[in-house]
Amino acid sequence: MWILHNADLYAPEPRGIKHLLVAGSSIVWIGDDPPALDSSLGVKEFDLEGRRILPGLIDGHVHLSGGGGEAGYQSRVPAVALSRLTLGGVTSVVGVLGTDDVTRAPAELVATARGLIEQGLSAWCHTGGYHIPPVTITGTVRGDIIHIDRVIGVGEIAVSDHRSSQPTQDELLRIGAEAHVGGLMTGKAGVVHVHMGDGPRGTEPILRAIEGSEIPARVWNPTHVNRRRALFDDAMALAERGCTIDITAFPVEEGEDAWAADEALVRYLDAGLPADRVTVSSDGGGCLPAFDSEGRVTHFEVGSPGALAQTLLALLDRGQPLDRVLPAFTSNPALLLRLPRKGRIAAGADADLVTLDPKGRIVDVMANGTWYVQGGNPVIRGPFEGTA
Ligand code: ZN
């Protein structure tokens, strides 16, 4: 058990200075004054001295088992190490497969998510990858969502991209129906996480799917929506129709026709759109390739789960109030992904906590009641970290 004293609590809404009691993996009590606890309980105490405390970040798009592969076999990115998540304040992750859904498979991704759970984090994944028919474990998307504990949706299915399967509208609808019914039967998210490419068709496939079927708009969850500025405008219109849109925290060069994640989130919030229908994810472990007009890779970088914390810091640096921007990293993904114990600091929620220094940098990270980062340093590492 831990008692955390004098925490400036963002739940994500600001609650002022509070004391928190953590027992096992849960937050069990929050109050204005320190509780009277019997010394025989052996509760450990930690005084935050007024530092801000927030829910652990939820990263809804991480290539947990490694992504990439677009520039030959040597460009296959290795699996994401535990401390790369925790140092970035990420305590819940959703794994995805990307371009390479042939040499990589959903079974490997489920095993990787389970490995992170054994290490104390919270992890889920989507079945399928860029291509259709989606690669699955049981034979169908619906079967994977229903039968496999970790699988909560399907994706990232690629559209408007030269690397996609160029799905027809009927094919997309079929996948949406499978995800939706799988979600209904299990209480899981049941979403189609849609990779938006650079192509001129933009959001058109999703718009047609919303207009051409009875599947609720919430099922369609486009990501990378800030990769082109015109695409972002169209994606904001999708949010108005009921989709939750996902901004990717990739590096954006000066003059590039894209919005950096912090800029995109501010634009979304300034537009007065539903504040709970926007999320930010890292694309961590994925390869971020740039292509020439012939479809050849000119260069690539690797996405980092630390990009979420960097984006949060950039938002604070530009004067955004923490409570305005924090839901996109915490309570919004929890709502979309139907993770009721995640994304909020409340009695009964999982003890996933992040503390910030006055500048907004991450100092401590607790996941399910255990400290993983203290004073900015990892105190627990994954089993193979440092041996490579
Ligand atoms: Zn993608």
Shared-domain flag, residues 267 and 360: no
* String of DSSP letters for 234-289: HHHHHHHHTPPEEEE-----TT-SS--HHHHHHHHHHTT--TTSEEEE--BT-EEE
Provide the residue range defining the domain that includes 14.
2-54+343-378
**Distance between Cα 208 and ligand 1 center (Å):** 20
Q: Which residues contact 313 (CB under 8 A, 6 or more apart)?
A: 359, 360, 361
Indicate whether 37 and 166 sit together in one domain. no
Q: Are residues 348 and 332 in the same domain?
A: no
Residue 91 domain-assigned (yes or no): yes
182 lies in the same domain as 213? yes
Distance CA 54, CA 254 (A): 31
In this structure, are 332 and 356 located in the same domain? no
Distance 194 CA to ligand 1 centre (A): 8
- The CATH number linked to 35 is 2.30.40.10
Q: How far is the CA of 195 from the centre of ligand 1 (A)?
A: 5
Residue 388 in any domain: the answer is: no
Among 283, 350, 352, 364, which one carries the catalytic annotation?
283
- Give yes or no for residue 331 having a pLDDT over 70: yes
**Residue 164 φ/ψ region, left for φ over 0, alpha for ψ in the -120 to 50 degree band, beta for the rest:** beta
One domain for residues 99 and 24: no
Query: Is 283 among the residues known to form the active site?
Result: yes
Answer yes or no: is 113 within a domain: yes
Q: Check whether residue 35 and residue 74 sit in a common domain.
A: no
Query: Would residue 385 count as lying in a domain?
Result: no
Q: Rounded to an integer, what distance in angstroms lies between the CA atom of residue 70 and that of residue 62?
A: 17
pLDDT, tens only, 65-121: 998 888 889 888 889 999 999 999 999 999 999 999 999 999 999 999 999 999 999
Q: Is residue 187 part of a domain?
A: yes
Residue 246, strand partner residues: 223, 279
Same domain as 144, residue 221: yes
Q: Is 41's pLDDT higher than 80?
A: yes
**68 within a domain of the structure (yes/no):** yes
Query: Looking at the 3D structure of the chain, how many domains does it have?
Result: 2
Lowest mean pLDDT among 36-50, 107-121, 294-308: 294-308
Residue 83: inside a domain: yes
Closest Cα to residue 257, out of 233, 298, 227?
227
User: Is residue 177 a contact partner of residue 188, using CB atoms and an 8 Å limit?
Assistant: no
384, part of any domain: no
In one-letter notation, the amino acid at residue 90 is V
Q: How far is the CA of 363 from the centre of ligand 1 (A)?
A: 30
Per-residue pLDDT reduced to its tens digit, 268-289: 999 999 999 999 999 998 777 7
pLDDT digits (tens, 9 = 90+) for 340-377: 999 999 999 999 999 999 999 999 999 999 999 999 99
- Are both 318 and 351 inside the same structural domain? no
Question: Phi/psi of residue 104, each to 5°?
Answer: -115, 155
Q: CATH number, domain at 201?
A: 3.20.20.140
Residues 301 and 366 in one domain: no
As a whole number, the mean pLDDT across the chain is 95
| Residue 83 and residue 226 in one domain | yes
Query: β-strands 297-302, 52-55: how paired?
Result: unpaired
Structure-block tokens of residue 93: 């992750």
Instruction: Compute the distance from residue 362 Cα to the ligand 1 centre, in Å.
Output: 27
Rounded CA separation 223/220 (Å): 10
Tens digits of per-residue pLDDT, 230-265? 999 999 999 999 999 999 999 999 999 999 999 999
pTM of the model: 0.96
Asked whether residue 41 falls in the same domain as residue 94, the answer is: no
CA dist 186 and 179 (Å) reads 11
Opening angle at CA 198, ends 273 and 78, nearest 5: 100
Question: 193: Cβ–Cβ under 8 A, 6 or more apart, which residues?
Answer: 60, 61, 94, 96, 126, 153, 154, 155, 156, 157, 221, 223, 246
Report which residue type is found at 131.
H
Place of tokens 């049941």: 190
